[in-house]
Structure 1
Amino acid sequence: MMRRPAARLFLASSALLALAALAPVTALAQAGQASAMQGGAAAPDAALAARIAAIRAMPPAANAAEVGAQRVELNAAWRLFGIYRDDAVPLLRRELSAELRAKRPSPQLLLDAACFLLAYGAEADRALALQAALLLPPDVALDGPQLFRLVHVAAASRDPRLLPLIDRAFLRSPVTLPLPQQGASIDENGLRVLLYGRFGAAGERHLQPFLKDEALAKPVLDVLLLVGGSDSLPAVLPLLRSADIEVLTRAATFLMRAGGPQGRQALLALPTQGLSKDALEFLDPLREQLARQPAPGGAVGQSAATDAQVRDLLDALERADEREPAVDHAAILRSSLPKQELLERLSRIRERSLGRATNDSLALVETTAALINAVRYREQ
């Protein structure tokens, strides 16, 4: 059985959501539960099979209300699967394997069987989960949080075939992830960062064309701010002339906080002819302040910490599972460690943080993004 922190979070979230489902389930689901009680813990196969059949028979939801109604039934199924977990896991594994070979696989069974196996199954079930995610049609309405849990794990493969599904379900639609244990949630921007960020440079390149879409430019810039870099400058620079002041301000923020020295220089050298009054009111004082400030990345070699101590600080960040440890960021930036070593280690820390769906991990992603941008100003 897997015992990763992400799996524990997944289990707790699913269990709490299931307990919250108070509406009545369908007659078929009720029959399955009654059968389980009559058959006892030793022989639940018929009840489990009835639940799986009910999931497979679910028609595609037409809207969010229908998705919510189906979630009630699915939560009831999860409760039964949890009670008879030792029997449910191999049965769901067989059924999911069969569904993957079906001519018209059930999206709902693909999603929930894969999610249950990720939560309770073996490490080898990740391969089945990836196959299930790849078969999910982008145009079918599914429960957003549940879909995120599956796709976030599958995205570790960096399989580009997942990207159209992510675009439709998360970039074009606002989805939030409840975190019942923390009494909090991750907003839509956080989920997009966690998904596209797992693809590394390929995810950044995939997002760049969407900057030409007025409806998507703002959310894409919000994602690129944390997982993008100077490679996105050619796609971002035209947005400094956007008529939408929110797009313009996001583009300028990206240049300063993620564009490295090239982004800073592009902002300072921007011709102002033809810019709107609102744009000039925002950009002029910003550029004046930027011109007076020294570029980040100075004072290299002036850290009070030794190189060995700085490596220990980076090790602490890389080991962090939840909250960011107390680390002197200035010591990292001022260290005499080679630029390339710092960039590689900070990129690994960010990549590892992107694999955990918590707000604390997102905070560490933001920290490492800022450090990476500052280190890019160093000459060596």
Structure 2
Amino acid sequence: MEIISGKIEKAKKCVLYGPEGIGKSSLAAQFPKPIFIDTEGSTTELNVDRLPKPSSWTMLNQQVDWVKQQAGRFKTLVIDTIDWAEMLCIESVCSQHNKKGIEDFGYGNGYVYTKEEFGRFLNKLSDVIDAGVNVVLSAHSQIVKFEQPDEMGAYDRYQLKLGKKTSSQTAPLVKEWADMVLFINYKTYSVATDDKGKKNKGQGGVRTIYTTHHPAWDAKNRHGLPDELPLDYASIAHIFNSSASVPTQTQSAPPPPPVQEPINQPPVQQEAAPPSNNVGNTQGAESNLNPAIPKSLRDLMQQYSVSEEEIQVVVNDKGYYPMGTPIVNYDPGFIEGVLVAAWPQVYGMVENFRKTLPF
């Protein structure tokens, strides 16, 4: 057995969460060479590099795969926000099982499927970490009632906003996965009452980063940070500047050559991956696609330069719809549950069709 001693320098996994508008995205924009996947379209006022807003869970996964291949170009992947990404995950799970909502599964099975799918997504983000790219997940906060098993009564506390019911499934996964969970909020210095002693008013409002667990919020770090920090990237810069673009490695193993890194990609993803410059720039793949085609499918078709006729050929070959049936006439559940959810296989069949065409 190989014994590995001492600290291992690697990229970092960080979660930033807090109320809306407090400055999570602005803080994430100061991390080393960030590239944003803006799931909710809230970074339009920031001068940052970003990928197009993902319109499907499949598109989001493809964007993460692309960022992994750009390890030398970017040093931080920011997903803003992870709770909006979770909504894409839920939509995908429902489409794959032909359900209208997560509650339609019964017996809580929908939440179990979501947890499993979300766990696979976190594993994909860990692959990005292994490539030497920091991963920052921003999230909104929510106030929930919390009751400790050994105490009487419940009290309010801040937690990750990953759904009221799915929080018991996906929120723990995210917190366990992360190296740091930083809670950002306005610090209230005191609570004052009016002259009659009836109305309470909070005094203060300095934006603060909380780095350790507290009964009123979730937080953690593995770097010995103070319990409270001002909302300033300089307070945590030393953690990320020392680890950016350091691929995970053991002391006895040299870092793998960059040209070998794509070999670690799963065969199915490699086969279905578009040229690397397409994911980051869908405008170059614009075509005469019918704008009435659902956006989740249209975005993938544009990224991979797939025409409507090629989709019709694949669908006809599998016996779903006759050749020539417009995509807009396909059942929405078929589009989301088959064409979008199984896009790597669909694109693989498109490539096989292209090989039969005369040059």
TM-score (norm 2): 0.22
Is the helix fraction higher in 1 or 2? 1
Name the larger-Rg structure: 1
Which structure is richer in relative contact order (CA contacts within 8 A, separation 6 or more)? 2
TM-score (norm 1): 0.21
